[in-house]
Structure 1
Amino acid sequence: MDHHNHDMTNAMDTTTDPHADHQHHTTAKPGHDHNSMNMMRMTFYFGYQHVELLFSGLMINTPGEMAGAFVAVFLLAVFYEGLKIAREGLLRKSQVSIRYNSMPVPGPNGTTLMETHKTVGQQMLSLPHVLQTVLHIVQVVVSYFLMLIFMTYNGYLCIAVAAGAGTGYFFFSWKKAVVVDITEHCH
């Protein structure tokens, strides 16, 4: 057995043997099990102590810190929903490039018809497209932050993400035009 496997065996043994040798591990804070502090929780819990938020130095340890984190996460989720709607609005306003393409198609009795297609879009090297690209990057980063916050399984933070997303949708999406297919019969 190599040294790495020996360390893994010792790490696994410490969870079942309270007198196991801890020489291969860094020192944990007094009163805390080192292994439980580094393991990611896999079940929902409501707590405010030792909650690490996105970055290694950003630790929640008091009710006030949790309340502040709740408000910040809530606002981040509201911002995310607003950003999605704002990007859609900017895209509609910036679609200024309209092209008409005509092509011949065979018609009845050997005739030729001209079929015209309208193409609406942006140019790749345009300010609106560059702005959309930057906003897309911000939207992706914020969405992953929200996902990682939810994956802490902390009930307070999960509620903040869900409540912020719902509030943001409520405030921003009512302006969004919804296309309803009246021929759709399966609802």
Structure 2
Amino acid sequence: MDHSHHDHGMHMSDPPEARCRMSMLWNTRIIDTCVVFKSWHIRSNAGFVVSCIAIVLLGLFFEWLRSYAKRVDQKILAKEGKGRVRLGSSRDGSRERGEDAPKFSTISRASRVYRSLLYAVIVFISFFLMLVFMTYNAYLILATVAGAGIGHYLFSEFGMGGDDKGMACH
């Protein structure tokens, strides 16, 4: 049977379809890099630059949000804690000294919900940036690290307390 008269949508003059390329190895690919989502498909050098800037800004936002969460904790402690918030752990030696173990917080439910939402957003952004890092693209990794470093420089404060895990995933 002759099928030459059927149009199957393939023409020899059509350029090959741009596709996301994934690599589990260190790479410096720019065009056809996809970042986390298939819809975040980089098709040009300009798009790659914009993507790198967006990743740097996300890193900055992540560091700002971490410092904001620490300030929220300090405000809650000042307003609602009044010595009732457990700051230490049972390993702080209080039991060995014959003292009662510290009590847990009696902060309001609204404050606890707000703190939990902040924490959830921080964890989400942290994992998102980890996925960007896992593109193994040297430029995107550099953008992630640059955003974290600049953000830490701009927003971290000494003596704020709390853990300082950096951009750990969790």
**TM-score band, normalised by shorter chain:** 0.5 to 0.7
Of the candidates 121, 135, 140, which is equivalent to residue 105 of structure 2? 121
**How well do the aligned residues superpose, as a CA RMSD in angstroms?**
2.8
Of the candidates 167, 171, 177, which is equivalent to residue 154 of structure 2? 171
Q: Percent identity?
A: 28
State the TM-score, normalizing by the size of structure 1. 0.62
The one-letter code matched in structure 2 to 1:174 is E
Give the 5 Å matches for 1:21-170. 31=16, 40-95=22-77, 96-97=80-81, 98-99=83-84, 115=99, 119=103, 121-123=105-107, 126-170=109-153
Structure with a larger share of its residues in strand: 1
- Once residues 165 and 82 of structure 1 are traced to their aligned partners in structure 2, the CA distance between those partners, rounded to angstroms, is 10
Describe the superposition over 1:48-82 as per-residue Cα deviations: whole angstroms up to 9, x where unpaired. Answer: 11111121111001110011001100000111111
Secondary structure (helix, strand or coil) at the match of 1:177 reads: coil
Count of residues in Structure 1 that have an aligned counterpart in Structure 2 = 135
Structure of larger gyration radius: 1
The one-letter code matched in structure 2 to 1:157 is L
Q: What stretches of structure 1 move > 2 A for 4+ residues in a row?
A: 29-32, 37-40, 97-100, 114-123, 174-179
Question: More relative contact order in 1 or in 2 (CA 8 Å, sep 6+)?
Answer: 2
State the TM-score, normalizing by the size of structure 2. 0.67
Gaps of 5+ in 1: 1-26, 101-113, 180-187
